[in-house]
Chains A and B, each alone.
Chain A
Amino acid sequence: MAGLLSGGARAAPDLSCAPNSYMPEDAAILLSDLECDVHIAPIRHHSPACAWHLKAMIAEIGPAAILIEGPDDYDPLIPLLTHAETRPPVAIVSILEGPVRGASYFPFCAHSPEYVALQEGAARGVPVRFIDLPATDKAMREDDSNPLDPIQPLALDEWAFDSSDYVRALADRLGCRDGNEVWDQLFEARIGEADWRRFFGDVGRYCSHMRESTATTTMEADGTVVRETRMVAHLAQARREIKGPILTVVGGFHAPALAEALPRLENVAAPSRGKAERSPYLIRYGYRQLNALTGYGAGLPLPAYYEGLWQTVAAGEAAPFDKLAHRLITDFAAHLRTALLGAWTAVPILVATLENAHRLAELRGRPGPLRDDLIDACHSTFLKGEEAGDASPVMAELVAFLTGSAIGDVPASAGSPPLVEAVRQRARALGFRVDDGERRNRELDIYRKPRHRAASRFLHATVFLETGFAQRTGGPDFRSGVDLDRLIEHWSIMWSPLFEARLIERAADGDTIEEALAAELNRRLAALEAQGMGGNASAAIDLFAAACQAGIAAYAERVLPVIEADIVRDADLASVAAALRDLIGLWRGRAALGFDNSAEIESLVGTTWRRALYLLPDLANAGEDRIAATLDALVVLREATGLADESLRALDPVLFDEAIAALLDTELDPALAGAVAALALLAGRIDDAEFAARLSGELRAAYPEMARRIAWLRGVIAISRELLWRVPELIETADQVLSALDDGGFVELLPHLRMAFAALDPREIDRLAHAIAARHGEDAAALIVRHDLPEAEVAANLRADARVREMLEADGLL
């Protein structure tokens, strides 16, 4: 290769010393091609050592342009990335559309080589470009097989650093546990050294070995090949446009392919630009999220550790690893004292930890304690007792500590979409912290404090938008009518980059929270209509309630016609009654839900009421399986009549009473007949005497099945247990009927009696027992019989019970 001036090869790195001796010299790759004046820096993402040496390389080469491996549709964001107010960690997020909706992230830390390259480029005023395929290209997705996971890192080929055959074999020989430790030992340990040529020569060598142990078919399948074609095309274009040295910063895995393409650069066409899809955004990012991504292979794990390393070296400290170890161990001890109750952090233990870390580093032939040495040292000295998997709280805390919870910042001008700005502003105005990733609890006094109510609306809105920012853990629930008497809402809140990313996904919906909510409401409404709930209004009512709580009650009124349409189509009395109950619940909570104009919902209640009355005569057709639900519906309707006196004028009790009266002479299921009779009695449509006559008629009726007689009683009790005391004939007649039974008849009836009286509470049962005993001139207390069962009999019964249960289970009946 004429004109080859390989920095790596010319410097003839001394590889005789451990541990680099595992990299034979013949694998050197071309770092600098003087003929075309292109220089390649092979890097690993988020590697401080690469960033450090890259800085030196840039200073020496003085590039006229810097090309960086990263989606080329990120170019417009470069001024923002290099803005003085940008503070890493930040990430560029791209919205993915098509079959896989979601977002992909490209994070930058202060110690990322890409970030350093961007800053250096800006400082020198030379053009900086990204050269990879656009983020939305399908070759850039790690894995399309899991569309449920909305967080998709960009494919960065980092897997090779951990799982390629070469790295695994190397780990075995170096006695390292994984590829990250190998990397730390071979490369991070060399941060702060002077010779960048040797460093990048070795990185290039290391990566070309990884590449050699990777099958070509794999690289074709995972998009590596098309991406590299794109990078080369960009490089060719830049070469034609720009005079002077060009520096290309790419993942080490791609470096050999680019180096190979250099001689034929002239013949490569410029990249074709597709039409711009949704533009990407720069967002604040968090170390916790960054670390979570490392599972996908997006760089070195435990970012807070590497940031510490970067800062220590940047501060120009001698023996940076020793300084860092010292600082991290003392800081961790301080962290433990607050994070973990009763954690041991006595000074002698810290001294022992530090000593161990140094000795481990020495044993393993490292310049100072590296990441795994620190972790191992803490493992030795902090853990007392047997280790139970990963559950050790101290070690979990250490991992959290080395991960860090820092969240970056982007300039105010950062072109985050107006929606994100609006949400952020409102969150701050309402006193929510949006600059760290801690989980917090908040209690909102939603009735008495307007500010708290506004905060509640905001949190409900974030829930409505599915941002994962907040979670309601307690408080009144207007929808189900549970805990309506509670005054305080409890929330658990955690800011995460995902929150803003979700908002960015919705940025096209509008510029304010309300607009976004409205768009989301419309989407869900359309889905509801398309789905066609078959006339069941419950989903639409849910939607309306959620929208009201999120603070767009006025807008949410557009759901009401849908609810109405559902209700008038609904042919089932039970579900109409349920809708009535829900709507009344909403009407009662109207102040807290925020709709001042309650006329709309009142009219809806009226519609529902009329629909229920319309369906009421259908009681005659109620099938046996609907009896229980229909009884419940009658109860709801009766309770609703009680509200008519309040202020819900739409509920006209007279109509209900008339409909019930009309049913009195209809042939009904006995349970429903009992309920109707009870309702008529309560409404004054029949008197006690007539009720008693019906009662004895039913109970003495000539039904072939005894059970049907009791069913009537069940209907009465379901409507009003009060009638048991108010109408003495009820107990009297029942008693007479029961007394007339023989033993066999009684036993046959027993289960049905149980069902009828199941609604009574213990006090009522006691009262009933007294009433019946009094009828017979007995004292109820005296009737209580203690049955002392022999132990053997109890045991035998329990066995029989278990056996029956088994049989029922075997037959699938339980």
Chain B
Amino acid sequence: MVTETALRAPAEERYSDELAKLAQADDSPRPRGWVLSARAVRRFILGDPKLGVVRKFYGDDPLVDRAIVSLMSNQGLMLVGEPGTAKSMLSELLAAAISNDSALVVQGSAGTTEDHLRYGWNYALLLAEGPSEKALVPSPVLTAMRTGKIVRFEEITRCPPEVQDALISILSEKALAVPELGAEQAVRAVPGFNVIGTANLRDRGVHEMSSALKRRLNFETVHPIADPAHELELVLKQLGERLGPAGVKVDVGADVADILVQTFQDLRSGRTKEGASLTRPEAVMSTAEAVNVLHAAALEAAFLDNGKLTGAHLARQIQGVIIKDEPEDGKRFKAYLDHVVKERSARSGPWRDFYQAARALRLT
């Protein structure tokens, strides 16, 4: 049970109103084990102005259709793409809408073992009473199978391949044997069960996926948001979600937020909106990072300044995103400042603030 004081409530809590409205208005057939129909799930993610459901995922509607349909099939769903492209958010929203439960999560890491995917034991009970249903500690996967829900497997490719492959039999047999409880003992998945994986195939320190596992998953690539207007809308919305509950009052002008989005779009694509090309930084320039920058800048404006966000606040916060582990990125950003931002600063006040403050950063 999540209480009022939780730092971040799961999606089904945050959007409980919307989910209730959608369920009430839902007249399409529901797939077995789903709390909503496929169409209602779609509306939940892509928005429905009539019901007052906001859009939560931008830029690729057909991808959402395909993802929903994949989850209705025997195949699992695999979301891949660059970091910060809202893969995890999409998987959370899907799980919340389909199962009304987005909390069944396996977080993949180098330390993930097969127990995290199958089950573990309460060793005190195991020693005292021997293997029994009571002593069994189910993994989120096992729980999802028993209850017919969606389980999310974050960052699959960070797990060693042999751990990843434990999913193969779960996905194809839809069953998990528990030999300790008896030779015939197996948990059979209830309708509604499926897996959403997320992964980053290009990052450092990730493992290959086996072909056998790939065959059991439908892949969807989530791309960064290409439309600056969409990205601006999303960034402002997420900022509101972060500042609102904390009661922080900041005056965020759309022109100031636009500086941030434009800068991120330019650096991400390696081409400015005027058509000049530039060297892309190695650093991940995702929408999520843009929100982080805007959030930090807004906090600075609220608590250390007069409450009005300016380009200068953005400039001071953007450094942390650009300079992560590649020293060259500082130079690249400086070149961007000198050639692109400077020109824009001659035409617009907020860009001038941004430029002047960014010039003062120690970038190299």
Does A175 interact with chain B (Cβ within 8 Å)?
yes
- CB neighbors of A among B72-104 (8 A): 72-75, 80-81
Please tell me if the beta carbons of B66 and A376 are within 8 angstroms of each other in the complex.
yes
- CB neighbors of B among A169-184 (8 A): 175-177
Please tell me if the beta carbons of A352 and B75 are within 8 angstroms of each other in the complex.
yes
Chain B residue at minimum C-beta to C-beta distance from A359: B69
Does B214 interact with chain A (Cβ within 8 Å)?
yes
- CB neighbors of A among B1-53 (8 A): 38-39, 42, 46
Please tell me if the beta carbons of A376 and B65 are within 8 angstroms of each other in the complex.
yes
In whole angstroms, how far apart are the Cα atoms of A528 and B75 in the complex?
A: 68
Which of B132-140, B218-226, B231-239, B248-256 lies at the interface? B218-226
In whole angstroms, how far apart are the Cα atoms of A365 and B39 in the complex?
A: 9
Chain B residue at minimum C-beta to C-beta distance from A356: B69
Query: 1/0 per residue A375-391: CB within 8 Å of B?
Result: 01101110111110000
Query: 1/0 per residue A394-414: CB within 8 Å of B?
Result: 000000000000000000000
Residue from B38, B81, B211, B218 within 8 A of A363 (CB atoms):
B38
A387 contact set on B, CB distance < 8 A: 219, 221
A355 contact set on B, CB distance < 8 A: 73
Does A362 interact with chain B (Cβ within 8 Å)?
yes
Please tell me if the beta carbons of A386 and B214 are within 8 angstroms of each other in the complex.
no
Please tell me if the beta carbons of B72 and A359 are within 8 angstroms of each other in the complex.
yes
A377 contact set on B, CB distance < 8 A: 66, 69
| Min CB–CB distance A293 → chain B (angstroms) | 25
Please tell me if the beta carbons of B214 and A385 are within 8 angstroms of each other in the complex.
yes
Please tell me if the beta carbons of B69 and A363 are within 8 angstroms of each other in the complex.
yes
Given A352-B75, A363-B42, A386-B81, residue A380 in contact with residue B61 (CB < 8 A): no
A175 contact set on B, CB distance < 8 A: 42, 46, 61, 65
Does B344 interact with chain A (Cβ within 8 Å)?
no
Please tell me if the beta carbons of A381 and B80 are within 8 angstroms of each other in the complex.
no
Does B198 interact with chain A (Cβ within 8 Å)?
no
Please tell me if the beta carbons of A385 and B65 are within 8 angstroms of each other in the complex.
no
Chain B residue at minimum C-beta to C-beta distance from A363: B38
Please tell me if the beta carbons of B214 and A384 are within 8 angstroms of each other in the complex.
yes
Please tell me if the beta carbons of A385 and B38 are within 8 angstroms of each other in the complex.
no
Q: Using a Cβ–Cβ cut-off of 8 Å, how many residues does chain A contribute to the interface with B?
A: 25
Please tell me if the beta carbons of A386 and B69 are within 8 angstroms of each other in the complex.
no
Residue from B38, B42, B75, B219 within 8 A of A383 (CB atoms):
B219
In whole angstroms, how far apart are the Cα atoms of A364 and B38 in the complex?
A: 10
| Min CB–CB distance B79 → chain A (angstroms) | 10
Residue from A344, A356, A362, A385 within 8 A of B80 (CB atoms):
A385
| Min CB–CB distance B196 → chain A (angstroms) | 14
Given A386-B80, A386-B202, residue A360 in contact with residue B219 (CB < 8 A): no
Does B62 interact with chain A (Cβ within 8 Å)?
yes
Please tell me if the beta carbons of A385 and B201 are within 8 angstroms of each other in the complex.
yes
Residue from A176, A344, A352, A380 within 8 A of B220 (CB atoms):
A380
How many inter-chain residue pairs (CB < 8 Å) link A and B? 69
Given A177-B61, A376-B65, residue A385 in contact with residue B73 (CB < 8 A): no
Q: Would you call the interface of chain A mostly helix, strand, loop, or mixed? A: helix
Query: 1/0 per residue A343-364: CB within 8 Å of B?
Result: 0100001001001100110111
Please tell me if the beta carbons of A381 and B221 are within 8 angstroms of each other in the complex.
no
A385 contact set on B, CB distance < 8 A: 80, 201, 214, 219
Does B143 interact with chain A (Cβ within 8 Å)?
no
| Min CB–CB distance B11 → chain A (angstroms) | 21
In whole angstroms, how far apart are the Cα atoms of A365 and B215 in the complex?
A: 29
In whole angstroms, how far apart are the Cα atoms of A80 and B159 in the complex?
A: 67
- CB neighbors of A among B105-160 (8 A): none
Please tell me if the beta carbons of A359 and B73 are within 8 angstroms of each other in the complex.
yes
Does A372 interact with chain B (Cβ within 8 Å)?
yes
Please tell me if the beta carbons of A376 and B62 are within 8 angstroms of each other in the complex.
yes
Please tell me if the beta carbons of A386 and B215 are within 8 angstroms of each other in the complex.
no
Does B70 interact with chain A (Cβ within 8 Å)?
yes
Please tell me if the beta carbons of B65 and A386 are within 8 angstroms of each other in the complex.
no
Does B175 interact with chain A (Cβ within 8 Å)?
no
A359 contact set on B, CB distance < 8 A: 38, 69, 72-73
In whole angstroms, how far apart are the Cα atoms of A176 and B80 in the complex?
A: 23
A364 contact set on B, CB distance < 8 A: 65
Given A175-B46, A385-B80, residue A360 in contact with residue B65 (CB < 8 A): yes
| Min CB–CB distance A138 → chain B (angstroms) | 31
Does B68 interact with chain A (Cβ within 8 Å)?
yes
A363 contact set on B, CB distance < 8 A: 38-39, 42, 65, 68-69
Residue from A176, A372, A380, A384 within 8 A of B70 (CB atoms):
A380
In whole angstroms, how far apart are the Cα atoms of A159 and B315 in the complex?
A: 43
- Greatest chain A CB density within 10 A among B39, B69, B202 is at B69
| Min CB–CB distance A385 → chain B (angstroms) | 6
Chain A residue at minimum C-beta to C-beta distance from B217: A384
B211 contact set on A, CB distance < 8 A: 384
Residue from A177, A356, A383, A386 within 8 A of B73 (CB atoms):
A356
Residue from B61, B62, B81, B218 within 8 A of A381 (CB atoms):
B218
Query: 1/0 per residue A130-154: CB within 8 Å of B?
Result: 0000000000000000000000000
Please tell me if the beta carbons of B66 and A379 are within 8 angstroms of each other in the complex.
yes
| Min CB–CB distance A374 → chain B (angstroms) | 12
- Greatest chain B CB density within 10 A among A352, A356, A372, A376 is at A356
| Min CB–CB distance B65 → chain A (angstroms) | 6
| Min CB–CB distance A32 → chain B (angstroms) | 36
- Greatest chain B CB density within 10 A among A352, A372, A379, A386 is at A386
Given A352-B74, A385-B201, A386-B201, residue A380 in contact with residue B221 (CB < 8 A): no
Please tell me if the beta carbons of B73 and A352 are within 8 angstroms of each other in the complex.
yes
Chain A residue at minimum C-beta to C-beta distance from B211: A384
In whole angstroms, how far apart are the Cα atoms of A365 and B220 in the complex?
A: 22
In whole angstroms, how far apart are the Cα atoms of A808 and B215 in the complex?
A: 58
Residue from B42, B61, B219 within 8 A of A386 (CB atoms):
B219
In whole angstroms, how far apart are the Cα atoms of A377 and B218 in the complex?
A: 10
In whole angstroms, how far apart are the Cα atoms of A362 and B39 in the complex?
A: 9
- Greatest chain A CB density within 10 A among B68, B74, B219, B220 is at B219
Chain A residue at minimum C-beta to C-beta distance from B42: A363
Residue from A349, A352, A380, A386 within 8 A of B66 (CB atoms):
A380
In whole angstroms, how far apart are the Cα atoms of A705 and B194 in the complex?
A: 89
Please tell me if the beta carbons of B221 and A356 are within 8 angstroms of each other in the complex.
no
B220 contact set on A, CB distance < 8 A: 380
In whole angstroms, how far apart are the Cα atoms of A352 and B76 in the complex?
A: 12
| Min CB–CB distance B160 → chain A (angstroms) | 19
A177 contact set on B, CB distance < 8 A: 61-62
Please tell me if the beta carbons of B66 and A360 are within 8 angstroms of each other in the complex.
yes
Please tell me if the beta carbons of B80 and A372 are within 8 angstroms of each other in the complex.
no
| Min CB–CB distance A181 → chain B (angstroms) | 9
Please tell me if the beta carbons of B73 and A362 are within 8 angstroms of each other in the complex.
no
B80 contact set on A, CB distance < 8 A: 385-386
| Min CB–CB distance B340 → chain A (angstroms) | 25
| Min CB–CB distance B140 → chain A (angstroms) | 25
| Min CB–CB distance A167 → chain B (angstroms) | 16
| Min CB–CB distance B83 → chain A (angstroms) | 13
In whole angstroms, how far apart are the Cα atoms of A380 and B61 in the complex?
A: 14
In whole angstroms, how far apart are the Cα atoms of A344 and B46 in the complex?
A: 32
B68 contact set on A, CB distance < 8 A: 363
B81 contact set on A, CB distance < 8 A: 386
Please tell me if the beta carbons of B38 and A362 are within 8 angstroms of each other in the complex.
yes
In whole angstroms, how far apart are the Cα atoms of A387 and B223 in the complex?
A: 9
Given A352-B74, A385-B214, residue A380 in contact with residue B201 (CB < 8 A): no
Apart from A344-B215, A377-B69, 15 more pairs, CB < 8 Å: A175-B46, A176-B61, A352-B73, A355-B73, A356-B66, A359-B69, A360-B69, A363-B68, A372-B62, A376-B66, A381-B75, A383-B219, A384-B211, A385-B80, A386-B221
Counting from the closest, the 9 A-B pairs by CB-CB distance are A387-B221, A359-B69, A380-B218, A384-B214, A386-B80, A386-B201, A380-B66, A363-B38, A360-B69
Selected A-B contacts with CB under 8 Å, 11 pairs: A175-B46, A175-B65, A352-B218, A359-B38, A360-B66, A362-B38, A363-B69, A364-B65, A384-B211, A384-B215, A386-B219
Task: Show the binding face of A for B, using Cβ within 8 Å.
Answer: 175-177, 344, 349, 352, 355-356, 359-360, 362-365, 372, 376-377, 379-381, 383-387
